């Protein structure tokens, strides 16, 4: 029993590493758009902020559609373990070959394909955690996996900046492509295993037609997840902050606040380290508070994010602006593990992968337009500084949505709990 409990945590650590790798891939472009050689290679002007933002949006479109559509199909045909292996191989190859693409359209298509290959990752991780951990103990494993988000960004910004400064932009694609395959695949082979009882209860389909029938059943089950629409809306706004801020943070620090390329690398990584710490703290908090109080994390933390971003916009001191974004990411990270924990709590075990696929996929699809939206705001401002400040101001609006959804979710859970208590008294 103790050995099984230890092994399940090795699987969580593997998923944490895979998420970190995937996020380095995702933000590679956000650093490269500060490099004139890269922009010239794909035919983009330095002032074309909208097209630069579309590179991130293209990834998120592929990611969101894949998370909704491909996740149940992958689970039905391949299962969790094989789906992760196929995904790692595909996104490693796409990343490695990206420098061979010499036009904006081809690069845009590669970003969509990369998003498609990475789309099921979080849903598969959620299915693994649901299979190995009970609801009362899923806060820490969810937080640990979600820590990969912050760590990937924290490592990615300085790593890509270093490769860009010491080699060239092509090297960053080659290095990341090799890491995906050489590091990720052996870890999955060694440590990601689903319990036999789960495999028996959700046997893989023997054919494509059987898989499609199984997918239909899984999707219908996912749509029965309690508060699915509300949690999906909350996740959309939650992820919009992540993708808007992380995609434009390097350019914001360099162009709006005047930091050098070297300063930009480590300053851009600080908010991500804050996210890593906060996600871990948030997981411990979730496991120690009543289940009905978890939605309040969205309420309190969204207020913290909005206030910190407001300070970053209003201050004239560039270091205070940078450190305020560190505080914003800390507040954002605190509520990060509450989303998968909430979905797992509301879903049946056999539907948790597809349920989380819907939440994360639709949320990512909607949030994916945030980089392009911010790029449009930045491009149409009178000055680059004014554009970046206005663009980051849009992030405050995302937190208003998170706050409202969290409050409604909390009120609904309280009402359901009272109704259950009254039925118990009557019985």
pLDDT band at 240 (very low <50, low <70, confident <90, very high): very high
Report whether 374 contacts 53 (CB < 8 A): yes
Q: Please state at what angle helix 318-335 crosses helix 261-288, rounded to 10 degrees.
A: 30
**Cα dist from 277 to 125, 144, 283, 372, 415, whole Å:** 20, 10, 10, 29, 33
Mean pLDDT confidence for 38-58: 86
pLDDT band at 1 (very low <50, low <70, confident <90, very high): very low
Between 10 and 291, name the one with better pLDDT.
10
Q: Measured between alpha carbons, how far is 87 from 305 in angstroms, rounded to an integer?
A: 33
pLDDT in tens, 302-320: 999 999 999 988 888 989 9
Domain ranges of the chain: 2-192+208-414
pLDDT of amino acid 251: 79
Provide the phi-psi class of 383: left if phi over 0, else alpha when psi is between -120 and 50, else beta: beta
**Residue 256 DSSP label:** I
Q: What percent of the chain is modeled with pLDDT above 90?
A: 28
Q: Measured between alpha carbons, how far is 35 from 70 in angstroms, rounded to an integer?
A: 34
- Say if residue 174's pLDDT is above 80: yes
Mean pLDDT confidence for 77-105: 90
pLDDT of amino acid 328: 95
- What average pLDDT is seen over the chain? 83
Which of 114, 142, 116, 115 is CA-nearest to residue 128?
A: 142
pLDDT of amino acid 362: 82
Report the helix count and the strand count for the chain, using DSSP H and E: 20, 0
Q: Measured between alpha carbons, how far is 128 from 124 in angstroms, rounded to an integer?
A: 6
- Say if residue 201's pLDDT is above 50: no
Strand, coil or helix: 202: coil
Report whether 279 contacts 151 (CB < 8 A): no
Q: Measured between alpha carbons, how far is 190 from 417 in angstroms, rounded to an integer?
A: 42
- Say if residue 153's pLDDT is above 50: yes
pLDDT of amino acid 109: 92
Between 424 and 390, name the one with better pLDDT.
390
Q: Measured between alpha carbons, how far is 209 from 75 in angstroms, rounded to an integer?
A: 14
Q: Measured between alpha carbons, how far is 153 from 274 in angstroms, rounded to an integer?
A: 11
Report whether 269 contacts 154 (CB < 8 A): yes
pLDDT band at 17 (very low <50, low <70, confident <90, very high): very high
pLDDT band at 426 (very low <50, low <70, confident <90, very high): low
pLDDT in tens, 281-303: 998 898 888 878 889 999 999 99
- The domain over range 2-192+208-414 is classified in CATH as 1.20.1250.20: yes
Q: Could you tell me the sign of the dihedral formed by the alpha carbons of 236, 239, 245, 247, in that order?
A: negative
Which of 238, 223, 226, 230 is CA-nearest to residue 68?
A: 223
Q: Measured between alpha carbons, how far is 246 from 150 in angstroms, rounded to an integer?
A: 10
- Say if residue 398's pLDDT is above 90: yes
Mean pLDDT confidence for 386-412: 90
Mean pLDDT confidence for 205-225: 63
- Say if residue 3's pLDDT is above 60: no
Which of 125, 139, 158 is CA-nearest to residue 19?
A: 125
Alpha helices in 133-227 (DSSP H): 139-166, 169-179, 185-191, 196-201, 208-222
pLDDT in tens, 257-271: 878 767 777 787 888
Measured between its terminal Cα atoms, the distance across the chain in Å is: 38
Report whether 124 contacts 83 (CB < 8 A): yes
């Amino acid at each position: 029993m103790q050995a099984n409990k230890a092994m399940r945590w090795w699987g969580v650590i593997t998923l944490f590493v895979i998420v970190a790798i995937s996020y380095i891939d995702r933000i590679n472009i956000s650093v490269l758009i500060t490099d004139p050689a890269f922009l010239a290679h794909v035919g983009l002007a330095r002032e074309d902020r909208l097209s630069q933002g579309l590179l991130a949006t293209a990834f998120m479109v592929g990611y969101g559609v894949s998370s909704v559509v491909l996740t149940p199909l992958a689970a039905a045909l391949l299962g969790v373990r094989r789906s992760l292996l196929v995904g790692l191989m595909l996104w490693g190859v796409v990343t490695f070959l990206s420098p061979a693409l010499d036009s904006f359209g081809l690069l845009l298509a590669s970003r969509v394909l990369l998003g498609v290959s990475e789309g099921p990752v979080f849903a598969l991780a959620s299915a693994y955690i649901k299979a190995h951990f009970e609801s009362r103990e899923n806060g820490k494993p969810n937080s640990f996996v979600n820590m990969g988000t912050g760590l990937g960004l924290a490592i990615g910004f300085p790593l890509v900046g270093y490769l860009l400064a010491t080699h060239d932009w092509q090297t960053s694609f080659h290095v990341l492509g090799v890491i995906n395959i050489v590091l990720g695949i052996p870890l999955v082979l060694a440590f990601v295993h689903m319990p036999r009882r789960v495999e028996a209860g959700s046997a893989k389909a023997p054919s494509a037609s059987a898989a499609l029938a199984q997918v239909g059943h899984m999707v219908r089950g996912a749509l029965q997840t309690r508060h699915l629409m509300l949690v999906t809306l909350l996740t959309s706004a939650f992820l919009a902050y992540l993708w808007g801020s992380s995609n434009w943070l390097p350019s914001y620090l360099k162009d709006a606040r005047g930091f050098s390329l070297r300063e930009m690398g480590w300053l851009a990584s600080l908010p991500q380290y804050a996210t890593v710490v906060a996600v871990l703290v948030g997981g411990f908090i979730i496991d120690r508070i009543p289940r009905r109080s978890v939605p309040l994390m969205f309420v309190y933390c969204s207020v913290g994010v909005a206030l910190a971003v407001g300070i970053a916009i209003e201050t004239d001191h560039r270091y205070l602006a940078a450190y305020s974004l560190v505080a914003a990411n800390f507040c954002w990270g605190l509520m990060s593990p509450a989303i998968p924990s909430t979905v797992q709590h509301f879903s049946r075990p056999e539907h948790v992968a597809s349920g989380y696929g819907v939440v994360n996929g639709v949320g990512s699809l909607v949030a994916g337009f945030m980089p392009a939206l911010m790029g449009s705001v930045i491009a149409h401002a009178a000055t680059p500084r004014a554009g970046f400040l206005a663009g980051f101001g849009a992030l405050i609006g995302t937190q208003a949505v998170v706050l409202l959804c969290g409050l409604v979710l909390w009120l609904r859970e309280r009402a359901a709990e009272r109704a259950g208590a009254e039925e118990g008294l009557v019985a």
